[in-house]
Amino acid sequence: MFDRLMPDQYVKSIYEIDFTSLKTKGIKAVITDLDNTLVEWHRAEATPEVQDWFKHLDEFGLKVTIVSNNNEKRVRAFCDPEKRVFIHSAKKPRRKAFRQACERMQVKPEETVVIGDQIFTDVLGGNRAGIHTILVVPVTQTDDWMTKANRKMERFVLRKLKKRGLVKWEDTKRDE
């Protein structure tokens, strides 16, 4: 049961992801969450650091699609200035948006990574779609009301995974 909730990788932030290593493993595309993965859930625009991160991905020749459960207005406000392709109202963890992103980027799931800050949306959805998943620490400790409920369930699952010896990282932000 917990297999689908386990990310393939865990990093503290998007800036710690080794895209050189991923590229040598055949990765051609990135599906990334928006809220609390790239920027705070209430921040409308990309930070200069996120803009540089996008440039870095472009230099690596990696295609990028932002897949968010948020509404079109919010996602478009972030993505349009950055000229980024997006899927809004994705209904993660359903597989449809992940598959749709792969189709649009013309890549196979095994040539793709999913990056996100939530186990029950990003990791579960990516794993269900057969895509390599990378869990990051949320960029902020505040969440909207729905995400707060998910975070409580995440802490429960992470405690169970740690007891079974399946989680090898330490993260006080997720253990609170």
**Per-residue model confidence as pLDDT tens digits over 132-163:** 999 998 887 665 656 666 767 777 777 777 77
Q: Retrieve residue 103's tokens.
A: 């189709």
Phi first, then psi: what are they for 108, rounded to 5°?
-85, 155
Asked whether residue 97 is domain-assigned, the answer is yes
Average pLDDT of every residue of the chain: 88
- The total number of structural domains that make up the chain: 1
Please report the sign of the dihedral spanned by the C-alpha atoms of residue 90, residue 114, residue 117, residue 23: negative
Asked whether residue 169 is domain-assigned, the answer is no
* pTM, 2 dp: 0.86
pLDDT tens-digit profile of 118-135? 999 999 999 999 999 999
pLDDT tens-digit profile of 73-85? 999 999 999 999 9
Q: Which domain holds residue 59?
A: 2-140
| CATH number reported for the structural domain that contains residue 87 in this entry | 3.40.50.1000
Asked whether residue 175 is domain-assigned, the answer is no
Longest alpha-carbon distance in the chain:
44
Asked whether residue 33 is domain-assigned, the answer is yes
Asked whether residue 131 is domain-assigned, the answer is yes
Asked whether residue 35 is domain-assigned, the answer is yes
Integer CA distances (angstroms), 148 to 13, 41, 145, in order: 20, 12, 5
Query: SS in 3 state form for 75-144?
Result: HHHHHHHHCCEEECCCCCCCCHHHHHHHHHHCCCHHHEEEEECCHHHHHHHHHHCCCEEEEECCCCCCCC
Answer yes or no: are the C-beta atoms of 102 and 112 closer than 8 Å: yes
Asked whether residue 114 is domain-assigned, the answer is yes
pLDDT tens-digit profile of 44-103? 899 999 999 999 999 999 999 999 999 999 999 999 999 999 999 999 999 999 999 999
Asked whether residue 103 is domain-assigned, the answer is yes
Residues with Cβ within 8 Å of 36's Cβ and at least 6 positions away in sequence, in order, are 117, 118, 138, 139, 140, 143, 147
